């Protein structure tokens, strides 16, 4: 949403944003303050926020209302006025509930960030398939070119490699599989170090606690570090030798694309999203979901083969630049807006 809004402003469009009051996007959006509306946006049935948004849309004669989270779809649908078109983006594979059949029925287009998401939407039969359009997430590849290397959390032994993963600390991301695979690799390459970057979004911190227990169980606390939120991701990726996504489910795989844009050799599980980005043994390596031995064997293969790491990294970078650039995403979205307004 941030990349899209700022890019549209740069192209001369008048852009407004409706956000929660404490959203970190307020400081990052390149919009005049008068173009930012703060609303509680408590849930999908927040009538007060919906009424305020509807009034704002009418007052500013907004033509396109674009919602990015399922929670916000009903609010955005209610805010639509005569002459305005509703666009929603579906970023995840989780099923929508029946309430959204009304919401999506009012939308001019539904953007799916991958073919996997599109297929899931079609299977739910909540919207006419002809209104669903795939526009892959776009990566600002310029951010990942020649990024400075961020100092690792601890000094690495001489001749060692740093293997990392990025993602929210949750069982779905497969961090426990990453840890188990790291333990296997460490037996053969004791100087290798591993890092997990991500935050635990659970209210009790249960996911991080479970991950720490996994580290202790596999006796890898000294070689696997767990870091929180990484502000400078390009520099983080630049410091890695190999990137691994052990996720059990991915609608797209943004971190995978970012690591590829950084020129890193990538290993990813065969989730729907990863399979749309990676061509096995051409610009990355794909392994079965949950197959710890396959993950560790792929790590070992890349540790041993410097030439393969370089080839996969270069091909991966070219793949993202050609297919998943931010420019491509903005072009396609802008075209979709025009198509919707012309209906």
pLDDT, tens only, 237-248: 999 999 999 999
177 and 69 part of one domain? no
Structural domain count, the chain: 2
Task: Note the pLDDT tens digit of each residue in 280-314.
Answer: 999 999 999 999 999 999 999 999 999 999 999 99
**The model's pTM:** 0.90
8 A C-beta contact, residue 87 and residue 131: no
43 and 187 part of one domain? no
Domain range spanning residue 99? 2-138+325-342
Mean pLDDT of the chain: 93
Q: What is the pLDDT of residue 155?
A: 53
- pLDDT exceeding 70 applies to what percent of the chain? 97
207 and 330 part of one domain? no
294 and 305 part of one domain? yes
pLDDT class for 150, splitting at 50, 70, 90? low
Task: Note the pLDDT tens digit of each residue in 205-218.
Answer: 999 999 999 999 99
Q: What is the pLDDT of residue 148?
A: 67
Q: Which has more pLDDT, 105 or 239?
A: 239
Q: What is the pLDDT of residue 151?
A: 46
Q: Which CATH number goes with the domain that contains 301?
A: 3.40.50.2000
Output b/e per residue, 198-224; b: 16+ Cβ within 10 A: bebeeeeeebbebbeebbeebebeebb
What 71-75 contacts at long range (C-beta under 8 Å, 24+ apart), as own/partner pairs, is: 71/41, 71/43, 71/44, 72/41, 72/44, 73/44, 73/100, 73/103, 73/104, 73/107, 74/44, 74/45, 74/50, 74/99, 74/100, 74/102, 74/103, 75/41, 75/44, 75/46, 75/49, 75/50
260 and 331 part of one domain? no
Helix (H, G, I), strand (E, B) or coil at 157: coil
111 and 169 part of one domain? no
195 and 274 part of one domain? yes
47 and 164 part of one domain? no
174 and 319 part of one domain? yes
162 and 125 part of one domain? no
Q: What is the pLDDT of residue 154?
A: 45
68 and 120 part of one domain? yes
169 and 240 part of one domain? yes
């Amino acid at each position: 949403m941030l990349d899209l809004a700022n890019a549209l402003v740069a192209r001369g469009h008048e852009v407004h944003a409706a956000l929660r009051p404490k959203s970190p996007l307020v400081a990052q959006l390149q919009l005049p303050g008068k173009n930012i509306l703060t609303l509680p946006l408590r849930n999908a049935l927040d009538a007060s926020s919906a009424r305020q948004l509807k009034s704002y849309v009418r007052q500013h004669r907004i033509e396109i209302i674009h919602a990015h989270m399922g929670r916000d779809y009903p609010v955005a649908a209610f805010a639509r006025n005569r002459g305005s078109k509703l666009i929603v983006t579906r970023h995840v594979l989780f099923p929508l509930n029946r309430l959204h059949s009304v919401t999506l029925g009012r939308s001019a287009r539904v953007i799916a960030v991958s073919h996997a998401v599109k297929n899931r939407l079609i299977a739910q039969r909540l919207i006419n398939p002809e209104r669903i359009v795939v526009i892959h997430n776009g990566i600002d590849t310029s951010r990942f070119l020649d990024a400075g290397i961020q100092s690792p959390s601890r000094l690495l032994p001489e001749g060692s490699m740093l293997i990392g993963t990025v993602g929210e600390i949750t069982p779905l991301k497969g961090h426990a599989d990453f840890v188990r695979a790291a333990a296997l690799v460490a037996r053969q390459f004791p100087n290798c170090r591993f890092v997990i970057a991500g935050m635990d979004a659970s209210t009790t911190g249960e996911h991080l606690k479970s991950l720490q227990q996994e580290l202790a169980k596999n006796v890898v606390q000294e070689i696997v570090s767990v870091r929180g939120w990484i502000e400078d991701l390009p520099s983080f990726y630049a410091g890695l030798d190999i990137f691994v996504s052990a996720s059990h489910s991915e609608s797209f795989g943004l971190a995978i694309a970012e690591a590829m844009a950084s020129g890193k050799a990538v290993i990813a599980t065969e989730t729907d999203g990863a399979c749309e980005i990676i061509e096995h043994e051409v610009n990355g390596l794909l392994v079965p979901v949950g197959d710890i031995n396959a993950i560790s064997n792929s790590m070992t293969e890349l540790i041993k083969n410097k030439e393969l790491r370089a080839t996969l990294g270069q091909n991966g970078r070219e793949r993202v630049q050609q297919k998943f650039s931010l420019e491509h995403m903005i072009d396609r979205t802008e075209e979709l807006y025009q198509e919707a307004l012309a209906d």
